[in-house]
Structure 1
Amino acid sequence: MHVVPLPALADNYIWMLYDDAGQAIVVDPSEDAPVEAALTQHKLTLRAILLTHHHNDHIDGATALRARHHVPVFAPNDERIAQATQHVGEGDQITLDAPAAHFRVMAIPGHTRSHIAYVGEGLLLCGDTLFSLGCGRLFEGTPAQMLSALDRLSVLPPDTQVCCGHEYTAANGRFARTIEPHNRDLATRLQQVAALRAQNRPSLPVSIADERASNPFLRIDHDAVIAWCRQHGATDDRVSRFAALRAAKDVFRE
């Protein structure tokens, strides 16, 4: 399976998956034009659309794509996603014949109340829940919900490739460096990201293993993160530590 992040809007990625027979899936199409251009360029046939949550910058292109290509649209059960043709939730399985692909659905509320992820084909398609070196804002969920979601994602197989919705890695890394300034894995990741972005290349996908080694939101139980959280008013409760990290990131300016 070929995995291509299609840049859209200011910093979004639409994920396109396709096989050697030219059968394609797109995930979170914020716009239809980048998808149509990629379909034409690679001579692909669109077979399905997967949506992770209701925000317009993840679903706005689905209406035109669905009408034009007559494909199913899988989405969480949320009345705000009018484009959905099939609602899916925790534990559901999606099996597609063309391209041959299988995904397990995980409910991961926090960024929004109905956010889901799709796991399969060695990929984690996680929208705005887990970012490289960061995580999503809490628009509708609680710190406890988001921490639980991140805990679940962090124990996926270490070689699982994280395909998230935005190119936020460099900015997230600047915050992460203030939490763990002596983390060598983080320093290495930041060097890699800087080199990629200097060539206008995506910093994604990235492995779960790399994120566990360098993303402070997946490192709530590591000594350096615990110490930082204590210094910033958190108790020894894991949710309190996560909430302190997320609140600091919300106002972080370098």
Structure 2
Amino acid sequence: MPFDLVTIPCRSDNYAFLLRRNGRTALIDAPEAAPILSELDRRGWSLDEVWITHHHTDHVEGLPPLRERFAPVVRGNAADAARLPQLDEAHQDGDSFDFADAAVHVMDVSGHTIGHIAFHIPDAKIAFTADSLMACGCGRVFEGTMEQMWDSLSKLAALPDDTLICSGHEYTAANARFAQTIEPDNAALEQRVRDIATYRGANLPTVPSLLSLEKATNPFLRAGLHEVKSALDMTGKSDAAVFAEIRRRKDAF
């Protein structure tokens, strides 16, 4: 039986996700309570679990009203528990837990923050990556190192190509414009820019996205490619060094 996946716009540009199967519902991140409650009520769903990816306010501040109404099990990273809302289940990198008869794998993807985690469900071909791997981009490296972020993105890139990447923000149009400065002749990227314009013109989310599309168009996943290194005049440099240069350029974009 497949999962139902619902993308919920929150705040100005955040996304939360509802995941449901076998009568059980999980929420991934809680940026804002009102739109989440509205969607739950519209569908007649309760809320059984909340999975928190990292401590930033725009991913957790909607939790208290949800907790008060539903008393869900809240999961997050044990290593970052001091900065997270109170956890009912604290996990470590490499842990797995069961949800609706599917194994959920916990991955440390530090870089944007130390202790950022992703949740991967192999049977559903879904990964919740929040502000690590993003649609046509990646999160700023606020707390970790560039090498750490590259390692985290490399772990996510190693997932199957048909994995659906559920990231945390509607930054895709700006990310794609920057990506064109790195690979102006990338035909797949040109098509993605057109598709993004169509989606946003209809007020539709550009998230989630397939990992195969990210690998074809996202410059942060393509830092190890010869053509990207050559375009940046960085042939012979390490993949992590090329990633760092791309990230620095994006920060100034």
* TM-score, normalization by structure 1: 0.93
Q: Kindly report which structure 2 residues correspond to 1:97-116, keeping only aligned pairs within 5 A, or say none.
A: 99-116=100-117
For residues 232 and 117 of structure 2, what CA distance do their matches in structure 1 show?
28
For residues 82 and 12 of structure 1, what CA distance do their matches in structure 2 show?
19
Three-state SS of the structure 1 residue aligned to 2:162 is coil
Amino acid at match of 2:67: R
- Match for residue 4 of structure 2? 2
Identical counterparts, % of pairs: 38
Q: Does 1:169 align with 2:172?
A: yes
Q: Kindly report which structure 2 residues correspond to 1:60-139, keeping only aligned pairs within 5 A, or say none.
A: 60-77=61-78, 78=80, 79-96=82-99, 99-120=100-121, 121-139=124-142
For residues 94 and 32 of structure 1, what CA distance do their matches in structure 2 show?
25
Amino acid at match of 2:164: Q
Give CA-to-partner distance per residue, 1:6-27, whole Å, 9 cap, x none.
Answer: 01111000111123x5531111
Give CA-to-partner distance per residue, 1:183-223, whole Å, 9 cap, x none.
Answer: 01111111111101100001111111110011011101223
Determine if contact 1:63/1:83 at 8 Å carries over to the other structure: no
State how many pairs are aligned.
247
For residues 107 and 20 of structure 2, what CA distance do their matches in structure 1 show?
22
- Match for residue 194 of structure 1? 197
Three-state SS of the structure 1 residue aligned to 2:17 is strand
Give CA-to-partner distance per residue, 1:73-105, whole Å, 9 cap, x none.
Answer: 001121011232111121111212xx4443100
- Runs of 4+ aligned structure 1 residues displaced above 4 Å come to none
- Match for residue 203 of structure 1? 206
Alignment counterpart, residue 158 of structure 2, candidates 130, 137, 155: 155
Amino acid at match of 1:107: D
Q: CA deviation at 1:68?
A: 1.5
Q: Does 1:31 align with 2:32?
A: yes
Three-state SS of the structure 2 residue aligned to 1:117 is strand
Q: CA deviation at 1:106?
A: 0.4
Two-structure CA RMSD over aligned residues (Å): 1.4
Three-state SS of the structure 2 residue aligned to 1:3 is strand
For residues 97 and 7 of structure 2, what CA distance do their matches in structure 1 show?
21
For residues 188 and 245 of structure 1, what CA distance do their matches in structure 2 show?
21
**Which runs of 5 or more residues in structure 1 are unaligned?**
none
For residues 10 and 133 of structure 2, what CA distance do their matches in structure 1 show?
19
For residues 216 and 82 of structure 1, what CA distance do their matches in structure 2 show?
33
For residues 108 and 154 of structure 1, what CA distance do their matches in structure 2 show?
12
